[in-house]
Amino acid sequence: MTSTVTRHGPDGRQTASGPEPAGEPRGGRSGFAWLVRLPSAAVHGLRRSAGTTPGRLTLIGVGLVLLALLAGTVAGIQLGERKSTIDGLVDHREPLTAAAQEVYRSLSDADATAAGTLLDAASEGIALRDRYDVDIARAGAALAKAASASAGNPQAVAQVDVLSRQLPVYTGLVETARTNSRQGNPVGAAYLAEASQLMRAEILPAAKALYEIEVERLSEEQDDAASVPWLTGLLALALLGALIVTQVYLKRRTNRVLNVGLLVATIAVGLAVLWAAVAVTFQSVLVGSGRSSGSEQTDVIVRARIAALQARADETLTLLARGNGTAYEQEYQSSIRRLSGPNGDGGLLGEARDGTEGLPAADHVEAAVRSAGAWREVHGQVRNFDNGGRYKDAVELAIQTEGDEGATAAFTRLDGDLARGIADSRQLFLDDTTNASRALTLLSPGFAVLSLVAMLGSILGIRERLREYR
């Protein structure tokens, strides 16, 4: 390469003749023919100018400027997008996942509570009634949030559609049940069983699917935020390489070691590459830890909490179902196995315990495991009462809100432990992800500015050498 260039060097002195062939076709009024010939003419012109040293230098200079411009622009856009993806995780995606979770949780809780309000005939169930009302209000509000975000995702739209159509039907049935009970009609319990059936067969599966879609979307965006920005990396390294090669070439051609412009450019690009590499690595690690110890643990604890809620609904419905309760009791057993395994130390709680080891949520998960064990014991007692014909004692033990021996108290403790575990895990996600976003602070504009410096340096450096040929 170098040898060919040196040979052609002295020959190509007629720089003026370069543009002429390009100008010629434009003069003739032969329609668009000149446009067709333009690329070949340009290639021809470039080859002519590459034949001379100043021509080469100009080309190198233009090449460096273009590369610096490209690298700066791509990096500016890519890194900027990356930061906004991470900010979006915190400001948008994770809260929406939490909204979908809230829809699922509050509806499960409503199902568990509605049966209790009918069982708790004697004390009129003010506390339970309040809890049910809050559940429905929360579910409605969270559903509106989730619905606004579901646009563009046909699967999510289908689930939101089911939820928003069936939720009013559900509340209607619960109110019919309540009115009948108030009037002393035993058919109220049948309406409540029907409402629960609607909840379990249609509403909760839709809420579950919606929650899973949102978890999937969160995890996809976390993937995006932790991916390697290949294009930026390749362009920046190409620019760095081009600058170094240019300097080596110039040193050979002109025997001058130092070219301030190019040196500044090289340092600027080197700095930019180093900064980006460190910041992006740091950020990816933080997003990764926000995911593995934050959002993924949140998901496990959320699923545990919902399994607990479903078991609670089964517990109360077994008592309300009036002779038809065996099916609910079987479902209770399967829900509780999902929650804490066959021996009380596995299942979702076991998974959460392994996942949160050493994390702030660990204490709460540990407490939840204990509460679940206590609840299982109380439930066994409730079943013994009911199976032994002591229905009133069974109901009393299952739904009494005062004191802390009852199933309500044990379940409320479990639910509270899991809620705190979820809050801690979400906090961890928020902290890590926000720090990840901070790691990218100023990187995008900084990279652009350093690319600009590299561009100016290249222009000045090449211009200095070009001057020597005048």
Residues of this chain that bind another protein (CB under 8 A)? 118-119, 121-122, 161, 165, 169, 173, 180-182, 184-191, 193-198, 201, 322-325, 387-392, 395
Nearest distance from C-beta of residue 28 to another protein, angstroms: 29
Nearer to another protein, 93 or 178 (CB): 178
Nearest distance from C-beta of residue 48 to another protein, angstroms: 46
Residue 417: Cβ-neighbour burial (10 angstroms; 0-12, 13-18, 19+): buried
Nearer to another protein, 186 or 358 (CB): 186
Nearer to another protein, 72 or 125 (CB): 125
Neighbours of 134 (CB within 10 A): 14
Nearer to another protein, 194 or 351 (CB): 194
- The CA distance from 373 to 370, in Å, is 5
Nearest distance from C-beta of residue 448 to another protein, angstroms: 43
Closest CA to 355 of 424, 448, 308: 424
Nearest distance from C-beta of residue 97 to another protein, angstroms: 25
Nearer to another protein, 36 or 157 (CB): 157
Q: Mapped to the 3 state alphabet, what secondary structure does 203-254 carry?
A: HHHHHHHHHHHHHHHHHHHHHHHHCCCHHHHHHHHHHHHHHHHHHHHHHHHH
Nearest distance from C-beta of residue 181 to another protein, angstroms: 4
Nearest distance from C-beta of residue 135 to another protein, angstroms: 19
Nearest distance from C-beta of residue 121 to another protein, angstroms: 5
Placement of tokens 């409320």 in the chain: 412
Q: What are phi and psi of 229, to 5 degrees?
A: -75, 80
- Show Cβ contacts of residue 76 under 8 Å, excluding neighbours closer than 6 positions: 444, 445, 447, 448, 451
Nearer to another protein, 227 or 324 (CB): 324
- The CA distance from 247 to 354, in Å, is 56
Nearer to another protein, 6 or 179 (CB): 179
Q: Which residues of 387-403 are buried (b: 16+ CB within 10 A; e: fewer)?
A: eeeeeeebbbbbbbbee
Nearer to another protein, 250 or 317 (CB): 317
Nearest distance from C-beta of residue 160 to another protein, angstroms: 11
Q: Which residues of 135-164 are buried (b: 16+ CB within 10 A; e: fewer)?
A: bbebbbebbebbbebbeebeebeebbebbe
- The CA distance from 129 to 438, in Å, is 45
Nearer to another protein, 181 or 283 (CB): 181
What value, to the nearest 5°, has the Cα angle with vertex 103 and ends 83 and 414?
Answer: 100
Nearer to another protein, 17 or 326 (CB): 326
Helix (H, G, I), strand (E, B) or coil at 123: coil
Nearest distance from C-beta of residue 202 to another protein, angstroms: 8
Nearest distance from C-beta of residue 310 to another protein, angstroms: 15
Nearest distance from C-beta of residue 152 to another protein, angstroms: 15
Closest CA to 181 of 193, 170, 167: 193
- The CA distance from 413 to 372, in Å, is 9
Cβ atoms of 293 and 424 within 8 Å: the answer is no
Residue 404: Cβ-neighbour burial (10 angstroms; 0-12, 13-18, 19+): exposed
Longest dimension (CA), the chain: 113
Nearest distance from C-beta of residue 44 to another protein, angstroms: 42
N- to C-terminal Cα separation, the chain: 25
Closest CA to 436 of 287, 292, 295: 287
Nearer to another protein, 121 or 245 (CB): 121
Nearer to another protein, 68 or 319 (CB): 319
